[in-house]
Amino acid sequence: ITSNAHANTGDGVAIAYRRGIALEDMEFYQFHPTGIYRLGILITEGARGEGGILRNDLGERFMERYAPTMKDLASRDVVSRAISKEIREGRGINGKKMVYLDATHLGSEVIEGKLPDIADFCRTYLGIDPVKEPMPIQPTAHYAMGGIPTDVNCRVLRDGTEVLPGFYAAGEVACVSVHGANRLGTNSLLDLVVFGRRGGLAMADFCQTAELPPLPANPTEFAEEQFSRLLSVQKGEPAAKLREEMQDVMQDDVGIYRTGDGMAAALERVRGLKERYRGVAVGDRGTRFNTDLLEAWELGNLLDLAEVTTAAALNRKESRGAHMREDYEKRNDEEWMKHTLTTRTADGGIDITYKPVTVTRFEPKERVY
């Protein structure tokens, strides 16, 4: 279950990874607590900001147990874990993997005036009126705090420290890392505005003196080989089947709650899927507007990132931000105040190293809600 579009498949991050760029903090993936049940479409925090209340199958306002002060307005990871726990302990609505976001007490004027998009989503996709009925929701995979390491001018760092001239990244593909282990709401927009401008200015400045390197004789050769390989398989599994299996593995064992045993099993299953990916067959043999071929290629990127994310999460033996391990429930600043760097080795394996977190103005402290 994800709030992201079907076409968002981590292509930029995967391409950099295969080209030898170390990816940073890939284990930190944020779940938004209120996605529409089974669809993942976001119900904005504004619904809770206006006074919406999360309720379980017993009608309880359960966030009072998990965040006595902030209740339903606690951070995304805290609320997502609380919802997940309610569901796991049998208090999901009618035994399903969902709870209710109840805004019925707010009245029509507030919902129609301040939350018109939410009202429209519910009527369009669920066939319910949030003025009269509570909204069925569940946590949905939402945002990657990790990605391609960059400095504050969006210059890509080859090994997490060394600037790679002429290579820039900004937005969710990049890891600056201003969000640490858990982004706060709306800060992604701020990220785009700030670093989009800084990156643009830095690139313009670089281009003033940069010399164009010679292009290889056939710059499209690598891409052509990838597509030719996919089209050459006559009989094999469809990409959609492997993608669904991968999503189930990641949702179940590398999701909101994680354990060493679960992630170790997930890593083996993802690597098994990567082996099976070699035999993926593309049903559409056309060479124009071939979405079947495109999705098969994208699956390779997803599998690379699933493997990196799982390996990085398995290696981090603590809980921090969006990374919650049930077998290591406490944050451990003494041993784990450091960024994870995952690099692809020459034989296609993963090498994991670390670099220290730079602490400047604000000293780390425990969050209390």
157 vs 293: CA distance, rounded Å: 32
149 vs 13: CA distance, rounded Å: 10
Which two structure tokens, joined as six digits, stand for 63?
């966030």
Strand, coil or helix: 301: helix
256 vs 134: CA distance, rounded Å: 24
Q: Is 76 one of the annotated active-site residues of the chain?
A: yes
Please, are residues 98 and 62 in contact by the beta-carbon 8 Å criterion?
A: no
Please, are residues 83 and 33 in contact by the beta-carbon 8 Å criterion?
A: yes
Q: What share of the chain is helix, strand, coil (3-state, %, to 5)?
A: 45, 20, 40
Residue 283 neighbours by CB distance under 10 Å: 11
Which pairing describes strands 99-102 and 53-55: parallel, antiparallel, or unpaired? antiparallel
Residues 6+ apart with CB under 8 A from 258: 313, 323, 324, 325, 326
**Which residue is associated with the tokens 């209390």?**
368
Name the residue type at position 40: G
Which pairing describes strands 163-168 and 135-144: parallel, antiparallel, or unpaired? unpaired
> Considering 48, 55, 76, 316, which one is annotated as catalytic?
76
Please, are residues 280 and 296 in contact by the beta-carbon 8 Å criterion?
A: yes
Residue 212 neighbours by CB distance under 10 Å: 7
**Among all residues, which ones are annotated catalytic?**
76
